[in-house]
Amino acid sequence: MNWFGLSLGFATLFIIGLGFVWVIRGERYFGYLWWLYVMGAGIAVIVATLFISNNWTSALLGAFGASLVWGSTELKEQAVRGELGWYPFREKKILPPFADVIKKWKAPSL
Amino acid sequence: MELNFVGVAAALATFFGVWMGHVTVRKVERNAIHLWIPIGFFLALGLAFVSLSLTTSSLILSAVSGILAVTFLWDALEFVRQQNRIKHGHAPANPNNPRHAKILAEHPEATTFGWLDRDPRGSKYSAEELAAMKAGAK
């Protein structure tokens, strides 16, 4: 029996669960315009796993990087949920560098 | 230096597992008349991947199938959660689906209006604006 994959599957479920928390909190205080940086960080983490020889570390970081990329595509919809009053709303956001440029781009939503 | 591909494999399984589940659950829940059919299908699919993950000797195949297994099992649960979003009006109901038509008749919050089909505007909607949006959509 090879328990690596199934244990990793449950660990991934937990990592995705954390995604709900940081997407909701992160959007509330920082706003959805951070999506580009979050996506970039996720891709960087995934590329970095190529150079980690320990299988558990590499796999867990890979799942974490993927959840950052996925979460980056959820931020825009979460911003709308806040404005609709489904989540606590904060009008004042800590904006990312180049927010006015990023605002002109279409934020991903899958 | 030898590259370790298990992290990239786990990342791809996680991202595409979540994406496919996200799209499939919404689409299938919208059209399925009896929800137990897709729930049963995803439970079976999840268990098949559990079995594959436990029996393969390949580390990468075990990782990918383990992540997909848990994702599919979670998707089975998400069909129920999605139906609850329909009841609360947080996801649009399909009036042509008899199961959704019943929900629309029994749950006052349920609506065919897609609240999330808009871009963020930077400020909160007032109760009057929300009511006008819902009335305008009907």
User: Whose CA is closest to A1, among B44, B8, B53?
Assistant: B53
Instruction: Quote the minimal CA–CA distance from B73 to chain A in Å.
Output: 11
Nearest to B22 among A32, A81, A110 (CB): A110
Answer for the pair B49, B68: CB distance below 8 angstroms, yes or no.
yes
A29 located within any domain: yes
Q: With an 8 Å Cβ cutoff, are B10 and A62 in contact? A: yes
Q: Which residue of B has its CA nearest to A60?
A: B7
Q: What per-residue confidence (pLDDT) applies to B134?
A: 85
A85 located within any domain: yes
Residue B26 sits at the chain A interface (C-beta within 8 Å) = no
Predicted ipTM of the assembly: 0.95
**Residue-level length of chain A:** 110
Condensed to tens digits (0 to 9), the pLDDT of residues B81-124 reads 999 999 999 999 999 999 999 999 999 999 999 999 999 999 99
A84 located within any domain: yes
A3 located within any domain: no
List of chain A residues with pLDDT < 70: none
Condensed to tens digits (0 to 9), the pLDDT of residues B12-51 reads 999 999 999 999 999 999 999 999 999 999 999 999 999 9
Residue A98 Rama label (left phi>0; alpha psi -120 to 50; beta): left
Instruction: Quote the minimal CA–CA distance from A32 to chain B in Å.
Output: 9
Q: How many domains does chain A have?
A: 1
**Does B78 have pLDDT greater than 90?**
yes
Token code pair at residue B83: 């139906």
Q: How far apart are CA B108 and CA B29, in angstroms?
A: 20
A107 located within any domain: no
Token code pair at residue A26: 């992160």
Q: What per-residue confidence (pLDDT) applies to A26?
A: 97
Helix (H) or strand (E) segment spanning residue B63 = helix B59-88
Residue B105 sits at the chain A interface (C-beta within 8 Å) = no
Using DSSP, state whether A47 is helix, strand or coil: helix
User: Whose CA is closest to A12, among B12, B23, B78?
Assistant: B12
**Does B138 have pLDDT greater than 60?**
no
Token code pair at residue B78: 């998400």
Answer for the pair A38, A68: CB distance below 8 angstroms, yes or no.
yes
Q: What per-residue confidence (pLDDT) applies to A110?
A: 85
A64 located within any domain: yes
Q: How many CB atoms lie within 10 A of CB A52?
A: 18
Q: Which of the residues B18, B22, B72, B73 would you substitute to probe the A interface, choosing the one with the greatest number of A C-beta atoms within 10 Å?
A: B18
Q: With an 8 Å Cβ cutoff, are A59 and B70 in contact? A: no
A2 located within any domain: no
- What is the phi/psi pair of residue A87, to 5°? -135, 155
What is the span of the domain harbouring residue A26?
11-102
Condensed to tens digits (0 to 9), the pLDDT of residues B54-75 reads 999 999 999 999 999 999 999 9
Token code pair at residue A59: 């796999």
Q: How far apart are CA B43 and CA B130, in angstroms?
A: 38
